[in-house]
Structure 1
Amino acid sequence: MRAFQITDFDAPPQLRDIPEPEPGPGEVKVRIAACGLNFADLLMARGQYQERPPLPATLGLELAGTVEAVGEGVSSPRPGTRVAVFSGTGGLAEAGVFPAERCTPIPDAMSFAEAAAFQVAYGTSHVALEHRARLKEGETLLVLGAAGGVGLTAVEIGKLMGARVIAAARGAEKLAVAKAAGADELIDTGTEDLRDRVRALGGADVVYDPVGGELFRAAMRACRPEARIIVIGFASGDVPQIPANHILVKNLTVIGFYWGGYIAFAPEVLTDSLRRLFKWYEERRLKPHISHRLPLERAGEGLELLRRRASTGKVVIEIAGD
């Protein structure tokens, strides 16, 4: 089968022919239809992600497909079940084996492409905003990188939770996407001063930051007293150093958040969240935004779109049709 693999952290990933795997105890084999790309894939390809896989490794954090076979001791999901899988690795291939507990059945109305774009982005924003930041109805939520994979879902979920949402992104095209997702106020970070604009809008109660760098520093200075800043990631490449005196004076809370980390110590947080999110999808309260769909042989182009920030919402690699 074909798989998009890292063979050397100093060289680009490549499409390779490898043997098809078979499920072991507690595992299922999935015929993969689609894989959602994430910024973490870029970091993993360079050996810079929190979890560094042994080489060779197949990229792809999240996927969707059909269960083809099950290993010993697996009663669910059964062969033929359409599932989404938070795999960590292995999604950019024609098939893969994964722990059965990582598989979530997907609604009949959901396409494989939507399912592959769903778990990480929506799961990150929902758990961050509800479980960690305790976002309240009527509060002001500032979302940085608001047209990106996780940022756009933060706009959508923040609005659904009753917040007033300020979306910050670079350029009119990206801001239009954030507006369509429910943003109340828009800030073009390419032409406007983020701190001044947010202050003019009354300040922020919660900041959702997948960008880091100078935008983090500007957003922190635009926070209201007792605001919460959620650190999601550092897409800018700049990990900001947090001045403790500013946190002290304004009674701010800085919250670190890594969605995948909950698998190790509180997996029920993720499963409960995903159950709620899939229900919202079935109720048509969530609408995944996919800006690019590419075949497996163009997976490298998909990663380049993320690197250049040339996409909005999610980039999905389609491996087999629905």
Structure 2
Amino acid sequence: MRAMQVTAYDQPLSMQEVDIPTPKAGEVLVRIDTCGMNFGDTLMIKGTYQEKPPLPFTIGMELAGTVTEVGADVTSVTKGQRIAAYTGFGGLAEYAAVPAEICVPIPDEMSSVDAAAFLIAYGTSHVALDFKAGLKAGERLLVLGASGGVGLTAVELGKLMGAEVIACARGAEKLAVCKAAGADHLIDSETDDIRSIVKGLGGADVVYDPVGGDQFKAALRACNPEARLLPLGFASGEVPQIPANILLVKNLTVMGVYWGGYAKLRPSVLTDSFKTLFDWYVDGKLKPHVSNVLPLDRANDALDLLRTRKATGKVVVQTA
């Protein structure tokens, strides 16, 4: 089979011919249709992600496809079933052996492109906003990096959950995408003063932040008493140092969110979230925004769209 692999750190992916894996006990073999690309993939290529598989390896954290073979002791998944899975890596290939316990059935109403764009982006935002922050209707939610893969789903979910949503993104085109996703207020991160605008709107009750750096610092100072801040990543390249005195004076809570960690730490958090999210999708309440769909041999171009922040929402690679 074909697979786009990391053969050396900080170098472009290369197309390799590798053996189709054989599913072990508890695994299924999946013929991959689509793979959702994530900012974490760009870090994995550099060797700076929190998980570091041995070289060479195939990147691609989330995939969607059809089960073609079932390993021993598998009863929850059947041959011919369409599934999506968060695998951490391995999605940029034509086949993958996947633990049956992490396979999520794809509703008939959902396309393979939507399925590959769904798990991490919506799962991350829903767990962050619902399970971690306990976002309530009527609260004011500030979303940084709001036009990106996870940020845009936070805008959409925040609005669906009844919050007043402030979206912060770079440039008019990206802000228009945020507006279409349900944002009530827009902030241009290139030209606007985040702190003063958010305070002028009444302050933030919840801050959703995949960016870090100066934007986090500005958001921190625009928080209302008892606000909750959710660091999910540091796309700016700067991990902010949080002054404890500000947390103390305003009774603020900072909650780190590593969505993938719950796969081992507490899997029910993810499965419960997926049930809610897929129900919302089937009911027409969620609509994934995919700005680019590229073939497997253009996976490097897909990654460049993420690195250069030219994409909005998700970028998906079709492997079939």
Do these two structures clear the TM 0.5 threshold for a shared fold by scoring above it? yes
Three-state SS of the structure 1 residue aligned to 2:255 is: strand
Deviates more, 1:29-38 or 1:72-81: 72-81
Aligned to 1:146: 146
> Is residue 175 of structure 1 aligned with residue 175 of structure 2?
yes
Q: Which runs of 5+ in 2 are unaligned?
A: none
Partner deviation per Cα, 1:81-104 (whole Å, 9 max, x = no partner): 000011111100011101001111
Structure 1 counterpart SS, 2:127: helix
Distance (Å, rounded) in 2 between the aligned partners of 1:12 and 1:255: 34
Counterpart in 2 of 1:110? 110
1:280 aligns with 2:280: yes
Give the share of equivalent positions with the same residue, in percent.
Answer: 64
| Cα distance per residue 1:266-285 (max 9 Å; x no partner) | 00000010011000000000
**Where do 1:25-40 residues align within 5 Å?**
25-40=25-40
Cα distance in 2 between the residues matched to 1:85 and 1:226: 36
Give the length in aligned residue pairs: 320
Amino acid of the structure 2 residue aligned with 1:254: V
Could you tell me which residue of structure 2 aligns to residue 100 of structure 1? 100
- Which residue matches 1:259? 259
TM-superposed deviation, 1:9: 1.4
Deviation, structure 1 residue 11: 2.4
1:191 corresponds in structure 2 to 191
CA deviations over 1:39-78 (Å, ceiling 9, x no partner): 0100111111111111111000000000000111112210
> How many angstroms apart in 2 are the aligned matches of 1:253 and 1:109?
39
Within 1, Cα distance between the matches of 2:158 and 2:81? 32
Q: Structure 2: how far apart are the matches of 1:254 and 1:75?
A: 41
In the alignment, which residue of structure 2 is the partner of 1:317?
317
Question: What TM-score comes out, normalization by structure 1 length?
Answer: 0.98
For 1:191 and 1:172, the matched residues in 2 are separated by 11
Aligned: 1:83 with 2:83: yes
Alignment of 1:201 with 2:201, yes or no, is: yes
Alignment partners' CA distance in 1, 2:149 and 2:237: 16
CA distance in 2 between counterparts of 1:10 and 1:219 reads: 32
Structure 1 residues 242-277: Cα deviation after superposition (integer angstroms, max 9, x where no partner):
111111111111110100000111000000100110
**Structure 1: gaps spanning 5 or more residues:** none
Question: 3-state SS of the aligned residue for 1:207?
Answer: strand
Farther off after superposition, 5-14 or 237-246: 5-14
Cα deviation digits, residues 205-233 of structure 1 (max 9, x gap): 00000000000000001001111000110
Q: Equivalents in 2 of 1:55, 1:208: separation in Å?
A: 34
Superposed structure 1 runs of 4+ greater than 3 Å apart: none
Aligned to 1:79, the other structure's residue is in SS state coil
| Amino acid corresponding to residue 260 of structure 1 in structure 2 | G
User: What's the counterpart of residue 44 of structure 2?
Assistant: 44
Q: Distance in 1 between matches of 2:255 and 2:142?
A: 15
Equivalent AA in structure 2 for residue 283 of structure 1: D
Letter in 2 for 1:181: A
What's the counterpart of residue 9 of structure 2?
Answer: 9
Separation of aligned partners in 1, 2:138 and 2:81? 40
Q: In 1, distance between residues paired with 2:120 and 2:293?
A: 17
Separation in 1, partners of 2:184, 2:311: 22
The CA RMSD measured in Å over matched residues stands at 0.7
The one-letter amino acid of 1:64's match is A
